[in-house]
A and B are shown apart, each in its own frame.
Chain A
Amino acid sequence: MQVPILKQGPYLIATIQSALTDADIVLLRDALVERVGRDRARGVIIDVTALDVMDSFATGTLQDVAQMVRLRGAETVIVGIQPDVAFAMVHMGLTLEGVATRLDLEEGLDFLNRTTRASAHR
C-alpha cells in the first residue's frame, strides 16, 4: 500500500491511509527524501491519523525521515497521532524526540508556515 504524496505550494503532504508494512514505511521515507529535492519543497507533513500502530520500527523510521529531510534543507511535522496510539507510544518509551508533532493537518501547515518563513528571513 503506497502512500500518496501531494505537493501543496512549497510543502509535501503524505497522508497515510491504512496500516503500513515495514517495507511501505521505508518506501515512504525514500520517496519523501527524494521528492524534497525534486519538488524543491520547504516542508513535509506526514499525516498518521489512519495508522493503526506506531511501534518501534514506525517511530524509528519516521524519526529518520525527519532527520534526513532536515539534512536536505526542509522541515518535517507529523500530524494526527491518535490518543490511543500516543498512550501506547509513551508506555513503550517511544518519544519521537526531536521531531515536530502537531494535532492535525491545519496545525501542521501553520507550523510549517511559521518555521519556513522564519528561516527564509534569516
Chain B
Amino acid sequence: MKAPYVTEEACVTVTTDADIVTARMRGRAMAIHLGFRPTDATLIATTISELARNILLYAGKGEIAIAPIEQGERRGLSVVALDEGPGIVDASRAMQDGYSTSGRLGLGLPGVRRLMDEFEIDSCANRGTTIRVKKWNT
C-alpha cells in the first residue's frame, strides 16, 4: 500500500534573485520528500532556477508553483512558471539552443526541456507566459 499523498503545493513569488534560490530549494526539498533520486532532484532544482530567472529577466515578477502529481500508477512533480510580462514573441525561436534576447547563453529554455519529461509553453505577446513542466519518478 502506498503512503497517502500529503505534500502540498508550494508557491514562490519571484521578484528578486534571492527568490530564485528559495524556489529551487523548495523544489529540491519536495522532490526528495516525494522519493526522487538526488540526481533527479538536482535536475528539478536546475529547471526551477532557469524558469525563475526567466520570470525575473523578462517579466520582473511572477510565480513558481511546485506540486506533486499523479497519473494512474505514476507519481511525479510539476512546476508551473507564470508571469504577466511581455510574453515570448517567438516561442519556437526561444526553444532553440543559443537563441537569446537577453544577451546570455540562450541555453535556458531548450536546456529545461531536456531536463524534464514534459514541457509546455503558452505565451502570447503582451499577455504573459506560462510554462508547465513535469518530471515523473521512475
| Max count, chain B CB within 10 A of own CB: residue among A23, A83, A85, A92 | A92
Write out the residue numbers on chain A whose beta carbons fall within 8 Å of the beta carbon of B114.
Answer: 91-93
**How many angstroms between the C-alpha atoms of A60 and B38 in the bound complex?**
24
Write out the residue numbers on chain A whose beta carbons fall within 8 Å of the beta carbon of B104.
Answer: 56-57, 60
**How many angstroms between the C-alpha atoms of A59 and B104 in the bound complex?**
11
Total interface residues on B, CB under 8 Å, equals: 27
Interface of B is mostly: helix
Instruction: Offer 24 A-B interface pairs, CB within 8 angstroms, sorted by A.
Output: A21-B17, A21-B18, A22-B53, A52-B45, A53-B24, A53-B46, A54-B46, A55-B46, A56-B50, A56-B53, A56-B104, A56-B105, A56-B107, A59-B105, A60-B104, A84-B38, A87-B39, A87-B42, A91-B111, A92-B46, A92-B111, A93-B97, A93-B110, A94-B111
CB–CB B21/A19 < 8 A: yes
CB–CB A22/B108 < 8 A: no
B residues contacting A by CB (< 8 A) are 17-18, 20-21, 24-25, 28, 38-39, 41-43, 45-46, 49-50, 53, 97, 104-105, 107-108, 110-112, 114-115
The answer to whether A88 has its CB under 8 Å from any CB of chain B is: yes
A58, closest chain B residue (CB): B49
A residues contacting B by CB (< 8 A) are 19-23, 52-57, 59-60, 83-85, 87-88, 91-94
How near does chain B come to A95, taking the closest CB pair, in angstroms? 10
Write out the residue numbers on chain B whose beta carbons fall within 8 Å of the beta carbon of A20.
Answer: 21
Write out the residue numbers on chain B whose beta carbons fall within 8 Å of the beta carbon of A54.
Answer: 46
**How many angstroms between the C-alpha atoms of A88 and B37 in the bound complex?**
13
- Known contacts A56-B53, A84-B39, A93-B110; 14 additional CB pairs below 8 A are A19-B25, A21-B20, A23-B17, A53-B49, A55-B46, A55-B49, A56-B111, A57-B49, A60-B105, A83-B39, A88-B39, A88-B42, A88-B43, A94-B105
How near does chain A come to B48, taking the closest CB pair, in angstroms? 9
Write out the residue numbers on chain B whose beta carbons fall within 8 Å of the beta carbon of A55.
Answer: 46, 49-50, 53, 108
Say yes or no: A92-B39 contact (C-beta < 8 A), given A21-B21, A52-B25, A55-B53: no
Say yes or no: A91-B49 contact (C-beta < 8 A), given A21-B20, A52-B25, A53-B24: no
